[in-house]
Amino acid sequence: MARADASWLADAVLYQIYPQTYADTDGTGVGDLQGIIDHLDHLQWLGITAVWMNPVFPSPLTDAGYDVSDYVGVHERYGTQDDVARLTEEARKRGIRILFDLVAGHTSDQHPWFLNSLQDFSDDRFTWASPDQFPGGELPENFVTSPGPREGAFLKNFYDTQPAVNYGYARMNPDEPWRQPVDAEGPKRNREAMREVMDHWLRLGVAGFRCDMAASLIEDDPDLVETGKLWGEMATWLDENHPDAVLVSEWGDPKVAVPAGFDGDFFFQTGEAWRSLWQDNPYFGADGTGTAKIFIDAWREAEDAIGRPGGVILPSANHDTALRLNNGVRTPEEIPVAFAFWLTWPVVPLIYYGEEIGMRLVDGLPDVEGSNGRQNNRTPMQWNDGPNAGFSTAPAENLYLPQDPGPNRPNVEAQRDDPGSLLNLVQRLIALRQANPELGTASDVQVFHDGYPLTYLRGDRFLVTVNPSRDAVTLTVPDERLANATAVEDSGVTINGQAIAVPAFGYAVLDLR
């Protein structure tokens, strides 16, 4: 069931924190909750209104915490539940909400639920196939041999150390007798358990959840109808018990996920809309051979299906992508124009930590805690030009991941002092967005040109033009107000009547009033 009204998420500016590499206060080389608390002032100054944190739960860390061994605890390296309560309280004082990860689809193989399931052959919190159900000896697809004493094999969700929590199958199949329907006792018990997990953290001040692998919970659900029903049930429970809380899905298809019950869903790297902006012959590429039309059409389709603003969330990267705007192809001078678009288009922006200063991808990093090639954008946050860029007092060799070794690596402190820095531009653009509803998700957009420069009108007031290519471009805009426009942000755009000339990597936000 779709949630009826747009939540506070519609007006949010989101920020993702990878706790391991954000700020270390106890010298272990690994970030912690106190480090996040200590830098809330940075986020408040920047204009961030909500933070999504990757998991901080107890875990054997075979998948960097996405292998949860206790849903209602805190791993000792991050702190305590009291630290969570202080974090949410201090964040709220600054107008910032905290979102936790809800890893509902799988646990660690060290979670008490799974350890009990190994002992109790009647336990159905997980999906088990007994040896007589695959008599040929060949394991069914995605099943892992039991570590014992229970015979047979269990269904995994991602890594072999992540047994899939049993929410049932959308369809029965006599050739797979281990399947349970979605209304069996095990699946019903697991749904109730996840509601209890959410209730625990919401009572500690957490404002909602980003739901990991949200489309994967119901097995053999080709149209995701039963999966949608499950999340709709969760949303109804939230509306009744925690009406201000939000659910954000890792689904990748907002036009499906939001009507199912989520408040928002991401365009991300598995989808054409995201790739057309940032990755595959991207619109934000110096060659100027991309198109913004793919993204715009997908965004319009999603907005039409959702029927209310604020459901589409747009990141440039996340902890899974091993990408950043500063990716080794895109140069630092190309990044400001991306933010000029990103923070003036009617999506909810999600800024991955460090993007606000243009942190870069770092190749050749060691695999850490199952990062499996995804570690390139997980390097420690760069706060200043001191040892370890201000991330930690630990010896460099003890850091969770090595710091960016680049001699000119950007840092927050230096960019705060430079009015022309990327950080100050991002801060101004967020402030502009928050001060003017015309730039928010509820206001309309009229696209004049989806090539180079992408040019559009927000709320019949602000004309935005962005040129991510290395070549200067000129466009005629059919609006007589252009000649007398006031530049709110401008990188060297010139106006001659209704003609607008945009330099390489140039942008402008023009007030037509």
Which tens digits make up the pLDDT trace of 423-451?
A: 999 999 999 999 999 999 999 999 999 99
Query: Which pLDDT does position 137 carry in this prediction?
Result: 78
pLDDT of 266 > 90? The answer is yes
Give the domain 8-105+186-435 fold.
TIM Barrel (3.20.20)
pLDDT of 295 > 80? The answer is yes
Query: Which pLDDT does position 1 carry in this prediction?
Result: 46
Q: What is the mean pLDDT of residues 476-488?
A: 96
Homologous superfamily assigned to 444-511: Golgi alpha-mannosidase II (2.60.40.1180)
Q: Is the pTM of this model over 0.95?
A: yes
pLDDT of 68 > 60? The answer is yes
Joined tokens for residue 325: 């705007």
Lowest mean pLDDT among 89-103, 136-150, 242-256: 136-150
Q: How far is CA 486 from CA 239, 472, 478, 496, in A?
A: 44, 21, 17, 13
Query: Which pLDDT does position 271 carry in this prediction?
Result: 92
Q: What is the mean pLDDT of residues 34-51?
A: 98
Pairing verdict, β 506-511 and 462-467: antiparallel
pLDDT of 217 > 50? The answer is yes
Q: What is the mean pLDDT of residues 379-391?
A: 98
Q: Whole-number mean pLDDT of the chain?
A: 96
Query: Which pLDDT does position 136 carry in this prediction?
Result: 79
Query: Which pLDDT does position 5 carry in this prediction?
Result: 62
Joined tokens for residue 375: 């570690």
CA atoms of 401 and 18, how far apart (whole Å): 12
**Chain region(s) in the chain for CATH 3.20.20.80:** 8-105+186-435
Query: Which pLDDT does position 3 carry in this prediction?
Result: 54
- Find the helix packing angle between 422-435 and 335-342, rounded to 10°: 10
- Are 386 and 392 a contacting pair, CB within 8 Å? no
Give 492's Cβ-side CA count (13 Å radius): 10
**Chain region(s) in the chain for CATH 2.60.40.1180:** 444-511
Lowest mean pLDDT among 4-13, 103-112, 307-316: 4-13
| pLDDT, tens digit, 9 for 90 and up, residues 135-166 | 877 899 999 999 989 999 999 999 999 999 99
Which of 66, 53, 152, 57 is closest to 106 using CA atoms? 66
